[in-house]
Chains A and B, each alone.
Chain A
Amino acid sequence: MSYLHNIGQYFLMIKEMFRKPTKWSVMRHLIFKDIDDLIINSLGIVAFIAFFVGGVVTIQTALNMTSPLIPKTLVGFATRQSVILEFAPTFISIIMAGKVGSFITSSIGTMRVTEQIDALEVMGINAINYLVFPKFVALMLYPFLISIAMFLGILGGLAASVIGGFVSLDDYIAGIQMDFIPFHMTYAFIKTFVFAFLLATIPSYYGYYMKGGALEVGKASTTSFVWTSVAIILLNYILTQMMLS
């Protein structure tokens, strides 16, 4: 029953997010701040993870292709497909559910505990619009982050294959250009937008409606990570079924 209550309250929060907008001069400032906090500050970790996981995907693929009948170009092809279709949009989003999601939940939750949200409401401000909408707008730039992850993942694969001597540079380049289907990029970016929406709203929900003190802020961050990840994985399955099958 409480799950149904939470789902209903979550959708009501989303509706409230678009009602009674905050003054644009203030909102603009909040959006830039959230772009900095959520997107720019995530560049380093996303780049680092994407580059090395791309390398690992390449090494694993190369090591498992023992048959001389399989062309070496398949290593580049498999890396590209893994990175574009799953690793960059989904795996990075789960990492971001931990990084950005817990940041959002704990910052909004702390505002709840310290009565800062009450202060906004007393002033007659739509606190949900003030707090959640800028995060939603900022995370609409999330595909930019995922594009970088895609590029660096494939680049990491290239570096690993060349440095490790698994595949030649030419074979890898030929592999990543092989049988390219542009719709796969569309699919990946549609997923990314959906995940960006989840990353902005689910952690905000857990922060905004939390009750209690500092300990509960920590618990809310953990719960928000779990449910954001669950929602990402479920919607990943549903979108893949709908768009690729």
Chain B
Amino acid sequence: MIEVNDIHKSFGDSKILKGISTTFEKGKTNLVIGQSGSGKTVFLKTLLGLFEPDQGSIIYDGTDYSDLTPDEKSDLRSKMGMVFQGSALFDSMTIAENVKFPLRMFTKQGKSEMNDRVDLVLKRVNLDDAHNKLPSEASGGMQKRVAIARAIVNQPRYLFCDEPNSGLDPRTATVIDNLIQEITHEYDITTIINTHDMNSVMEIGQKIIFLKDGIKEWEGSNKNIFKTDNEAVTDFVYSSDLFKRVQKMYLEEDM
């Protein structure tokens, strides 16, 4: 579980996060949504420890991040898995080497043990025949699955995903969403996903926080986001015709 208490972050004169507090529970897919520029990526990078908050605290399973020494922070980070928006695969390594990388860095496993684990994880993300391909030879969807495999190979306690299905076709995006949700339940980890994809919100949004201009504007789940009367949320959610029709459907259901 991750508890966020009143975090603020500025870059120069520009205030990006203005006092966000929330809790992300274990075993749930927690979504952070909001328009581009709302502070989602800065929020996620602050949770990851890539940015130090100017004010406030982040507590990982009872441990306050700001109380840790640099080495303890590094240890905590080794328990985090991250799926970047652009996958961030190491382009000089093959897919199998990318997935094996956290094991080589942080475990004392033998070669065969590592290879077995890589095989298992690649199979889990339906990539059992792509071991020797380079990331540049893989499609966008494959790269995302490799990134997920690399993020979970060392059995992390926390999984962070920054717009994991951006740039993917709707079908592949759904596959990625479902994969993340299944992995979250299977490994019982705390998963936080940054997205502005409404399909993800509908499919896997067990807990959703909505950010607007660096402030948490709304908090809830995919069950009640379509019924909220928060103007900022409804503006965001029903900005497309498709979701206007969904809203109509929900209203008809209520009647």
Contacts and interface: CB of A to CB of B under 8 A. Distances in A.
B104 A122 contact: no
B50 A121 contact: yes
Interface residues of B, number: 28
B71 A114 contact: no
A10 B42 CA distance: 25
A26 interface: yes
A121 to B, nearest CB: 6
Nearest to B102: A123
B87 to A, nearest CB: 8
B88 A118 contact: yes
B90 A116 contact: yes
A217 B43 CA distance: 26
Contact of A119 (B49, B88, B106): B88
Interface of B: 45, 48-50, 70-71, 73-78, 80, 82, 84-86, 88-92, 101-102, 104-106, 160
B71 A122 contact: no
Interface of A: 20, 22-23, 25-26, 33, 114-116, 118-119, 121-126
Given A123-B77, A126-B74, 10 more contacts: A26-B104, A26-B105, A115-B85, A118-B84, A121-B50, A122-B77, A123-B105, A123-B106, A124-B76, A124-B80
Contacts of B105: 22-23, 26, 123, 125
A147 B247 CA distance: 75
Contacts of A125: 74, 105
Contacts of B77: 121-124
B54 to A, nearest CB: 19
A122 B91 contact: no
B166 to A, nearest CB: 13
6 contacts: A114-B91, A116-B89, A118-B45, A122-B48, A123-B80, A124-B73
B157 to A, nearest CB: 13
B84 A115 contact: yes
Contacts of A33: 92
A195 to B, nearest CB: 26
Contact of B50 (A22, A25, A122, A126): A122
A33 B49 CA distance: 30
Given A114-B86, A123-B78, A20 B104 contact: no
A78 B54 CA distance: 63
A25 to B, nearest CB: 7
A23 B104 CA distance: 8
A237 to B, nearest CB: 38
Given A114-B91, A125-B105, A119 B75 contact: no
B82 A20 contact: no
